[in-house]
């Protein structure tokens, strides 16, 4: 092997760059010489995600559930109950509501009906919550405290037209009614009105809120409504006794008019989302609030 020699000066010039490179590499490898890494940016933790449960159906039933659901909303701020109304509502307890439940557009359907066989027939889970008695209500200024079933039938048929005929003032009776296919009218047709048509002068009201307002504002009026709705909304009208029994006595079995059933429906696949609300509706606290608002909880 041939050994080629270099002058010392040239050898030094050749080694200098190599030496610098080696020293730099060693500095990088030493822990104490590692350049500091930038501190990661800290961000506030995201708040708990809000879960929205959508409900739609009976207007009267929605009023009841809103009232008794206040403790649930307070204890579980991460769950929002969204009661659809107006143009957002998916029907009363009809086809649109069931379709919405099956398609996932709605989480819970609300029924307040004398007959929930339709709800039982749907391929949905059903929870019956309470019995809601009906009450006849009159203008609060009238000195009328009670009427008989026969007197009520005669008033709504137009055979009795003056309050004087039933112990009141000499004033024309203003009759307020709901639609024929509405749940309260259906019940009262069975036990009070029969098949006799309403008086021709009767005023037809399409919504529960319309009845609440009309019977309070229209002098000498009489109408009918959910007793739960009456209590919850603190309606300024007067709830009268029927055949000597008050709607407040319904739970004791003394009231002659049968109730509507408050129930909710939901898809079995949606149970994980709505289970906490379902459990609340079964709780002692919810039952207490139902009783306070004039309803009879269903065991």
- pLDDT bucket at 297, cuts 50 / 70 / 90: very high
pLDDT of residue 47: 56
pLDDT, mean of residues 24-36: 45
**What distances in angstroms separate CA 75 from CA 69, 164, 276, 288, one per listed residue?**
10, 52, 11, 17
Q: Is 15 a residue whose pLDDT tops 50?
A: no
Q: Pick 147 or 41 by higher pLDDT.
A: 147
For residue 177 the two structure tokens come to 């009614």
- pLDDT bucket at 5, cuts 50 / 70 / 90: very low
51-132+260-297, which class in CATH?
alpha beta
- Rounded to a whole number of angstroms, the distance between the first and last alpha carbons of the chain is 106
pTM: 0.76
Q: Pick 42 or 167 by higher pLDDT.
A: 167
Q: Do domains 51-132+260-297 and 133-252 have the same CATH topology?
A: yes
Query: 91-100, 170-179, 230-239: which has the minimum mean pLDDT?
Result: 91-100
Domain ranges of the chain: 51-132+260-297, 133-252
pLDDT, mean of residues 94-100: 80
Q: Is 30 a residue whose pLDDT tops 90?
A: no
133-252, which class in CATH?
alpha beta
Q: What are phi and psi of 279, to 5 degrees?
A: -65, -35
Instruction: Please give the Cα distance from 238 to 218 (Å, whole number).
Output: 13
């Amino acid at each position: 092997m041939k050994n080629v020699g270099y002058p010392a000066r040239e050898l030094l010039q050749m080694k200098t760059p190599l030496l610098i490179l080696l020293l730099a590499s060693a500095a990088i490898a030493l822990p104490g010489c590692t350049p500091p890494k930038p501190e990661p940016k800290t961000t506030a933790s995201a708040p708990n995600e809000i879960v929205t449960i959508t409900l739609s159906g009976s207007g009267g039933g929605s009023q009841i559930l809103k009232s008794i659901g206040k403790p649930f909303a307070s204890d579980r701020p991460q769950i929002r109950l969204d009661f659809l109304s107006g143009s957002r509502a998916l029907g009363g307890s009809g086809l649109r509501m069931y379709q919405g439940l099956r398609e996932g557009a709605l989480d819970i359907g609300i029924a307040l009906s004398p007959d929930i066989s339709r709800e039982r027939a749907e391929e949905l889970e059903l929870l019956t919550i309470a019995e809601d008695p009906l009450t006849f209500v009159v203008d609060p200024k009238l000195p009328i405290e009670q009427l008989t079933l026969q007197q009520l039938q005669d008033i709504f048929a137009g055979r009795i037209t003056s309050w004087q005929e039933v112990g009141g003032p000499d004033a024309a009776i203003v009759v307020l009614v709901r639609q024929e296919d509405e749940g309260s009218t259906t019940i009262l047709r069975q036990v009070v009105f029969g098949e006799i048509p309403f008086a021709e002068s009767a005023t037809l009201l399409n919504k529960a809120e319309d009845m609440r307002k009309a019977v309070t504002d229209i002098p000498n009026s009489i109408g009918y409504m959910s007793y739960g709705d009456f209590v919850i909304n603190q309606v300024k009208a007067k709830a009268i006794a029927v055949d000597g029994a008050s709607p407040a006595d319904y739970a004791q079995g003394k009231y002659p008019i049968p109730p509507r059933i408050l129930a909710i429906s939901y898809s079995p696949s949606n149970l994980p989302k709505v289970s906490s609300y379902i459990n609340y509706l079964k709780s002692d606290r919810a039952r207490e609030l139902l009783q306070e608002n004039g309803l009879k909880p269903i065991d």
